[in-house]
């Protein structure tokens, strides 16, 4: 009782506890609802373009300083010449950035031409979440560009992730290396099915994925390619996820787990493609309706109306 009184009297502690409870409630409320509110969409629409500009400028600025501070024989040159060189180097850096961007866009264009079965929207990565726990990034395409929740996001190298929230002009993408992500997948060579999930934190600079629920008798080796299986309908079949690097047995000796190195370089993501439409290869059983059964009576049966007809599902 005395402690309770103490907390109530201690105003800062009380305010802190109230704020923590409100934030926990907010997290619980928004955990299930992945739709972006109007306010979020507007704030994001205002902030994401600026964020995108800074994100893309980071490389340019870094390159500029690398050049400025590079050891060159500037001692013999006068001040004007130095300024001029810095200017030229800045221009050259911009040119190189544009050239790199052009090359990347060419690759994306080739991919688009090679995969006419996909309707694709290209987008630029405008920011990435800070911290190591999750891997969510923002792109500069939203509902107005035809981007909707759960659409697959790829690069020419392979699968990147899926759209989890969309604003008017921007979206949040959860990458496959996020520990909350799960992709139904298949080993290309052995056709063993599993689920690829991101690992929270690994002891490597490159992120790794784990392929779970593999059959115990799966004959896997490092270097086997893992692709999407198309099950679930979110991702089309055949998108490259990565290559196996290590295979381990489960503790209960009933399943195997494979560690997969993603095909996509998540540290240097700049442009991505969103598949807005694809033809699903998933087997969809056609269930005949009552009308179909009545209309499509084979001629042989019609001729022998007196014969016994057995219809599955009826007594």
Site string for another protein, 259-278 (x = CB under 8 A): --------x-----------
Q: Token pair for residue 22? A: 């409100």
Candidate ranges 185-193, 199-207, 231-239, 303-311; the one touching another protein (CB under 8 A)? 199-207
Instruction: Examine residue 130 and tell whether it contacts another protein (CB under 8 A).
Output: yes
Of 59-118, binders to another protein (CB under 8 A) are: 59
Q: Token pair for residue 231? A: 């099950």
Instruction: Examine residue 34 and tell whether it contacts another protein (CB under 8 A).
Output: yes
Instruction: Examine residue 14 and tell whether it contacts another protein (CB under 8 A).
Output: no
Candidate ranges 41-49, 89-97, 153-161, 299-307; the one touching another protein (CB under 8 A)? 41-49
Give least dist CB 133 to another protein, A: 6
CB 205 within 8 A of CB 197: no
How far apart (Å, rounded) are the C-alpha atoms in residues 270 and 101?
9
Task: Say which residues have a Cβ less than 8 Å from residue 225's Cβ, sequence separation at least 6.
Answer: 187, 188, 189, 240, 242, 243
Residue 119: strand pairing partners: 277
Number of H helices, E strands in the chain: 6, 12
CB 141 within 8 A of CB 170: yes
Instruction: Examine residue 30 and tell whether it contacts another protein (CB under 8 A).
Output: yes
Instruction: Examine residue 181 and tell whether it contacts another protein (CB under 8 A).
Output: no
Interior angle at CA 278, CA 277 and CA 283, nearest 5: 135
Instruction: Examine residue 303 and tell whether it contacts another protein (CB under 8 A).
Output: no
Residue numbers of the site for another protein (CB under 8 A)? 12, 16, 19-20, 23-24, 26-27, 29-31, 34, 40, 43-44, 47-48, 50-51, 54-55, 57-59, 127-134, 136-138, 164-165, 172, 174, 179-180, 200-201, 203, 205, 267
């Amino acid at each position: 009782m005395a402690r309770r009184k103490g907390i109530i009297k201690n105003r800062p502690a009380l305010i802190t506890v109230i704020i923590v409870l409100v934030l926990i409630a907010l997290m619980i409320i928004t955990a299930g609802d992945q739709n972006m509110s109007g306010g979020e969409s507007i704030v994001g629409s205002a902030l994401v373009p600026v964020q995108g500009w800074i994100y893309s400028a980071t490389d340019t600025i870094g390159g500029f300083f690398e050049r400025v501070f590079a050891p060159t024989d500037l001692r013999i040159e006068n001040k004007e010449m130095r300024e001029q060189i810095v200017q030229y180097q800045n221009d050259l850096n911009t040119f190189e950035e544009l050239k790199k961007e052009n090359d990347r866009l060419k690759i994306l264009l080739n991919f688009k031409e090679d995969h006419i079965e996909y309707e694709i929207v290209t987008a630029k990565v405008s920011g990435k979440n800070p911290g190591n726990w999750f891997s969510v990034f923002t792109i500069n395409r939203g509902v107005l560009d035809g981007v909707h929740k759960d659409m697959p996001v790829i690069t020419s190298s392979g699968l990147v992730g899926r759209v989890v929230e969309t604003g008017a002009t921007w979206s949040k993408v959860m990458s496959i290396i996020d520990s909350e992500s799960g992709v139904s997948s298949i080993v290309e060579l052995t056709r063993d099915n599993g689920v690829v999930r991101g690992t929270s934190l690994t002891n490597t600079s490159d992120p790794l994925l784990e392929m779970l629920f593999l059959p115990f008798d799966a004959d896997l080796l490092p270097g086997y390619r893992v692709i999407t299986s198309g099950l679930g309908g979110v991702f089309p079949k055949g998108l490259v996820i990565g290559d196996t690097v290590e295979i381990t047995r489960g503790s209960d000796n009933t399943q195997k787990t494979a560690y997969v190195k993603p095909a996509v370089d998540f540290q240097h993501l700049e442009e991505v493609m969103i598949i807005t439409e694809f033809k699903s290869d998933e087997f969809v059983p056609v269930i005949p309706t009552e009308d179909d059964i009545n209309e499509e009576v084979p001629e042989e049966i019609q001729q022998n109306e007196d014969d016994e007809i057995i219809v599955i599902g009826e007594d």
